[in-house]
Structure 1
Amino acid sequence: MDDQHRRPLLELAAPFCPEEIPSLLEAIFGAIGQALLVAANPTGHLIFANEAALALFGYEDFEALRVAFERASDVLEMRDAAGMPVPISDWPLVRAVRGEEIGSFQMSVRRTETGKSFVGLCSARPVRIAGGRGYAIATVQDVTALKRTEEALRESEERFRTLADNSPDAISRFDPELRHLYENPTSLRWVGIPASKAIGRTNLEAGVAPENAGFWDSHLRRVFETGQPESMEYELEVPGGRRFFETRIVPEKDPDGEVRSVLAVSRDLTERRNTLEALKASEERERTQAAELQAVLDAVPAAVLITRDRDASSVEGNRSCHELLRIPPGTVGTRSHVPPGARLLHEGCEVPDGELPVRLAARRGVPVRDYQLEVIFGEGTRRTLLGNATPLFDSQGELRGAVGAFLDITERRRAEEERERLLAEVERGAERVSRLLAVTEALSRAVTSEQAARVVLEEGPRAAPTPVAGFAALRGADGWQIVEAIEGGEPLRPPQDIVPHGAEALFGLGQAAWLETRAQVEARLPRWARACPELRAAAVVPAKEQGLLAFGYSHERRFDEGERELLGAMVGLFAQAVERTLLYESEARLRAEAEREAKLRERLMAVLGHDLRQPMSLVELGAKVLARKSDCLDEQAQAVVQRVTRAVAAMGTLVNTLLDYSRTRSGQAIPVKRKHGDLELWSRRLVEDLQAANPNRVLVFESLGDLGGEWDLDRVSQVLSNLVSNAVKFGDPAEPIRILADGSAPGEIALEVHNRGAPIAPEKVAQLFEPFVKAHEEGAGATGGLGLGLFIVREIARAHGGTVEVRSSAEEGTSVSVRLPR
């Protein structure tokens, strides 16, 4: 210390005698608020400590502290600000004794025996006085509380940083210049700016859009000015689109109340807002769907009941429910809501309140299926309902009610009953049809009226309760004939005059008589009633004009509609069978007569063909003799000879035709003698001869291709002659007859004769080649004939292995084609 600073102290100590100086120093050192320690040089032993030092180190008196310093390595532990141990030789007071001046040394001291510790800032400096003695004085400021506060602040800051860095919200801190002091990772992410780029810059400097920066800066500036927090919700246009945010800006003040920074916490509300909007939309849809569902339920033609509790204390119903049960709209509830006097039945028994389907499903948690409920109202009206009930469960599977739906099947049930009735009738009808089919099948085998009567008498008793008597009667030219009678299955012949004495009148009316009492039987059929005393009822049914059928019964009875229809149908079949048997008999007679006529005609043809040949040969020989002597005859005689010659040729053709027919009818084929020949030359000569024989007609002959082959040319000439002859007879005289010989095909030739004129009826075309069948009736242009020409043509073609075909129409005319293999 220099003289300038030493002089005031000397002046202060002057009034005191030397003995008083230690007390003065002790008082001064005790008044110092910090711990003060004094050590002497050169040993460095502690020679003084004020009260603050004793309290700081935790000792009650100086001696204990001095000893502790002597044994420091055992009882005291010192560490520096970095937490490293400090040896005693480096303690600030010891270093000051060695002459070092320690400005500020942070240390932490802990008493090992008690664990008590403190943190202090130590300053030490050496002091030298006259005589060479040296001292060291150290002051220690207790900063334990300050350090703990700083540590707490540091830990708090770390926790804040940890929380902020991991928060999904954006957290920002701004200084009074509106510069970014801190940004967590979430901050500025929405605007696409890294947080590191924003530190130390304003929003505008960090690249925030001007409109967004201005918005933010205005709110930040107001918080700095007013010192009051602000909250706001807003919408911003960001690179990802428009988003909604909620921000809370809070001022951060220093101990003097000045706002040194503001903290802003922002939360993205976009998803929450979208969720809320979606929730609102969903709720609106649910309301709409609920309304639509109610409308659908009201439109459903079924009673729908819903209960939302297990006890089914309240049950709601749709419009159809109220209409079917005749109760006003509202809660259906228990049976007390059913109209007074109404009854609920299931399988004919009263239904207890707790056994109704919806209540069962709600209470037991099991479905009720196909439950039929009959409602009987007070005035007697009945409704039949059929439905199901199903339990309702919540999301946790807990039973929470039930729903039921019931259809009004009253009309359907009536329809089913009617259907069952109709099915029963159908079954009865099917049985009747089966019986009628059996009768029909049996009658189809009957060939006489008597057989038909027996069939009906055998099958008739099966149509109704077995009769005790019955008969069938046929009406013939000689009067009534009793065909057969039965009693108990045995024949019983009633009096022969039973029909004229009763049934004749019934038959004459043409209507059935259903005699259901003994009195009616005695009145209408007295002789039969006397013959059968047990007869109590009878059925008499006329069989058209053929006869009648009668059955008797041993008890009075009513004939229902089905029995009447069945017996009537059976008698109708009987009448048809009788008519058919009569037709069979008539047909058999006609067939026998036709066979006799055919045999007679065939015999006649054979005889004519044989017996005419000899006289015709004589006539032909005489005509040839006269023809050789034509020079001796005048013109008239020559003309007569020519006519005789032509007539003989025609007769020869007719005789040959008759002989060919006789052969075919006896099972023989027409004989043919094949030899090679040119059909073109042969046909042309034949057509010329036919033209000469028919000078009033025009014959046109045409040939195609190669007409060589092997045939019986005489028979082929016979075919062509017959076809041309028919064309001359039935064709239009004003139109030419065309003959075509076609040999263009490699394996066969075709001869075709075509003429114009009236067409052949379609139904006759298929019969033209049968014996004695003519294309046209006599007098329709025909000149007579046996009807054997086309028959012979077909047989000659068959003998050659060929075929014949006829085409005829008004537009195209008539063409007959014969195809013969070469």
Structure 2
Amino acid sequence: MIHPSYSVLIVDDTPEDRMMYRRFLAHDPDASYTFREAGSADEGLALCREQAPDIVLIDFILPDEDGLNLLESLLAEFGSARFAILMLTGTGSEDVAVEAMKRGAHDYMVKSVALEQRLIIAIHSALGKVALEQKIEQQRLDLEASNQRLQDALGAQQASADQLRLALRAAQMVTWEWDIPSRSLQWSAGFEERVGVSPDVLGGDFERFFGLLAPEYRELTQQRLEQAIVSGTLDEIEFRVHAPDGGIIWMSASGYLQHDAQGAPKRLIGIVMDITARKQAELELRQREHEYKMLVENAPDIIARFNSDLQHIYVSPTVSRATGMPKEAFLGKTNRELGMPDAQCDLWDVNLSAVFATGQPRRMEFDFQTPEGLHYYQATIVPERSADGTIETVMSVARDITDYKTVERHLRFLADSSVGLAGSLDPLAMLTHVAKSAIAYYGEACTIDLADQNEIRAVAIAHHDPNIVAAFTEMRQRYPVRAESSHPVAQVLKHGQTLVVDTIPQHIFTDNTYDSEHVRMLHALQPASFLMVPLIVRGRAVGVIGLYALGTPRHYSHDDLTTLEELSRRVALALDNAQLYQEAQEALREREAFISIASHEIKNPLTSLLGRAQMLQRRLARLPDPGRAQDDAEIIVSQGMRINSLLTDLLDVSRLASEQLTITRKRLELTELVRNAVANLQASSPNYRIALTAEDSPLWLEGDAGRIDQMLLNLLGNAIKYSPECGIVYVDVRAVQNTAQIAIRDEGVGIPADALPHLFKRFYRVSRASVQQVSGSGIGLYVVNQIVQGHGGTISVASTEGVGSTFTVQIPLTQ
């Protein structure tokens, strides 16, 4: 079997996604595809101009503009019937989905692991829609061409009549003369040219001329001639003549009677003309009229024409299928006289009157209750003008857009459900939102069950009536579904397949009730139909979404089924993500707990080690010639202090992660704290100079002196580390409006501009070689930022490579 082949243009700036679409479509069993790719909207538009594809896949987010603008450009340049357009995006949005469909996209999809089958189905559906649109567009073009030919034929007919009048004036027509007593027939010059038969062929014999007539016209022509002898006038008569070459010539003859001196009929004289062209035009006109009628009568749209009183003067047969009424019932009546709802009558009256008044086409949408159910239509109303430009009638073409509305409704439902799924990582909150969205869409009871080992729990139950929710909840709590039972929920979980029952058979109730009270509760709820789809997570059914029609049975359509299955895929993905998030959070908690315990365990022996090392350092200092031992002791103390500082930062990071970093607020004076920190660091860094500038007036604030000192030592230490040997670090403390501001500036290597936005992230280290040469853990500035934020303040940095950096801290002053 030969499958069709389609050309696909993929407009997506992500190579992985383009490769994913190629891979998905390669699995299509019913078609083959060729591909071209574009990484931007401009490139995609250029490729379409170069060679129009059959299918265009557009990513919503493109580097030069969004996918909606490209969609609009394609439709404006190529029209909606040229190729199928599908919009894809990494994150779903109701507004985007609806806007894409309104602007003319044939479908809209969210990129996910379940995209493959959905993409193939959507492409085939879109190609079908395009084929239908192309067929309708071709019908419209044929209709316009037919109308043009009709106009041309009418114009030619008018021109022919004008030529006849000119010929008569100029005596250019072929004349004939029939002598009645002798029955001889004579023709004027031009007979052969105009009639196609030489007079010599007839020899002036009337009977031989009659022999050229088509048999069905001989008797009629003879009767008309006899009537002319009596009446004195031969009115125009049309007949066909068989030419010698076998062709057919249409002729038109007219004349009048002449009498002899005694008043007896003597001769008939007149003119004859070849009307073959006119007859062919009339035949073609009738054929075009028949084709036009067939197009209109068999079009899927409802076509109607209205006069200025808004009465129907024509309706196509399609109206009978939509209303159940014969089309003849509409003629001569307004919509109101036909008994249509007042709201629809008002809508039609307003739009029809506007077209009559302005001459501008109008478009409107309306719904109508057909014998098949509620349908949605889009009507285009255009004026019909007479030759002088006056609007005599208007025509409306109403197209059934129920399928489009259904798609739009499905997208809105899925988008609304997706909002709840994306807005929370709490499975119960997500499922409750989904259940409520489902009843808003389907208007029925919805339950969502999750399987936990051998237990099946109803975690979400929704219905418009709170009493039904309460009754459903009580029944499921008192009589839980057994995993090993034949209950539909258990069977869907067991087999992982959708289950649809339009009318619930009695044995389902009999086989799955505990006792008479259970039977009573079921009968009170009156479940009549259900639709259940499994929640598949990593190949395993973990739950079931169930819809129940209560009281009256319901037939679930294919659209109902596919929409709920798509919802189940999204819910399953969200549940999997929530589970992964919870596991990740637990792993983070375990890691932070380990860091905290390990840091504590290391810090205790380290403190003892540092104490011993410092004691050794002091003893060596008292010796007259300590030698190399003094240097070794200094290195041990220095590195021990560094490890101690690193452990302090790790403990703070752990406390921040577990929200246990404490800020003990007391009233303190900031300038004095800064002076002490500068003095301590200056003493330990004799090769550098720290220049402090401070205002005389005190700067009082509520804060933790130990944490602020930790912040200052970290910032000052960094400034010294990244400064050149014997460099200067500038510290400025002052009041700025209602805040105390500390600015620490160095003249060191500086920080690359691309690193500045990430500087206060945990474990971030600048990757430049000039910075990497200085040791550090990447957590100091993270802790500093958390301390500043804990005091209600802010920290910022400005830096130029090769010039230096300035860190500015602002903390609110005490009022």
Q: Same fold (TM over 0.5)?
A: no
Between 1 and 2, higher relative CO (CA 8 Å, sep ≥ 6) is seen in 2
Normalising by structure 2, report the TM-score: 0.36
Larger-Rg structure: 1
Normalising by structure 1, report the TM-score: 0.35
